Amino acid sequence: MSFFKQKKKNPYGWFGDYQKWEALTALSGGYEAGAILDKTKNALLKVKNGEAVYERDSVLFDKKIYPYSVISALLYTAIECGNNLTVLDFGGSLGSTYYQVKDVIPKAVQLHWSVVEQENYVRSGKAVFEDDVLRFHFTIAESEAAKKADVLLLSSVVQYLEKPHAFLEDIKQYNFKYILIDRTAFVNTERPDRLTLQIVPPEIYEARYPAWFFNEQQFLAHFEGYEIKMEFDSFVAGEQEMEIDHVKAGYDKGFFLIKK
């Protein structure tokens, strides 16, 4: 009999190596659950009203964690654009990143922030959070028609799309000068993309998602004609190395790209 108890494995995180997205649809609830939206909305309302300083994935914090690489890229873009900064935040929830960085964007910068999201998020955003700076749109095309973006922000979103490579090809039509990618998951080997099931800890919210880990070289191949101005680790502590099936098999990072 062993005197040492086996350490219980964490039931939350990323699991599996699936071949088809459809194989995960029966196992996951996706991102459209009303409970997730309500929890995110209530948390961000507290940030908006000054009752909390920072929200991430619907969880409130009493101390803000600044994504310095994202901020520096936004400020670089603002300077290059003559102190104007129009951000198209694809998959930006109800404005989480906007509320996180807006207090370090100088008042001299004319800021416009457009979030493109799922229909239920957009309707909630328009009803509760929209103002002269923060706007919500159903599609990239609709947002671009309202005001042409200086920078496309993709933060923790591409890996949750059913067809991420088709999306990365599709955005080429908008000819964004600057593209800022953050909190994106990659496999730490040369193997192809890996499709996993992400199980979220219940203290955040109860959810299961299909989630990709990308081959970095194949991912970046979509951005031919762009210079990698900056690449950086995810700003969130502990997310740089990510476990799949309890083995360190991926990492989280970002890129700031500028069209040549």
Over residues 6-23, the pLDDT tens digits come to: 556 788 899 999 999 988
Q: Of residues 169 and 45, which shows the higher confidence score?
A: 169
DSSP 8-class letter at 239? -
Query: Considering only CA atoms, which of 187, 179, 199, 198 is closest in space to residue 254?
Result: 179
Q: Of residues 9 and 80, which shows the higher confidence score?
A: 80
DSSP 8-class letter at 214? B
Mean pLDDT confidence for 218-241: 85
Distance (Å, whole) CA 36 – CA 62: 21
For residue 251, the cross-strand partners are: 186, 241
Backbone angles phi, psi at 94, to 5 degrees: -105, 20
Residue 213 to residues 30, 75, 87, Cα–Cα distance (Å): 17, 29, 25
Please give the domain boundaries of the chain with CATH numbers for all domains: 13-259 (3.40.50.150)
Reported as a single tens digit per residue, the pLDDT across 95-121 is 999 999 999 999 999 999 999 999 999
pLDDT at 208 over 80: yes
- For 188, counting Cβ atoms within 10 Å of its Cβ (0-12 exposed, 13-18 middle, 19+ buried), the class is middle
1: pLDDT confidence band, cut at 50, 70 and 90? very low
pLDDT of residue 184: 96
49: pLDDT confidence band, cut at 50, 70 and 90? confident
pLDDT at 235 over 80: no
Query: Considering only CA atoms, which of 97, 222, 112 is closest in space to residue 154?
Result: 97
Please say whether the dihedral angle defined by the alpha carbons of residues 80, 177, 193 and 189, taken in this order, is positive or negative. negative
As a whole number, the mean pLDDT across the chain is 89
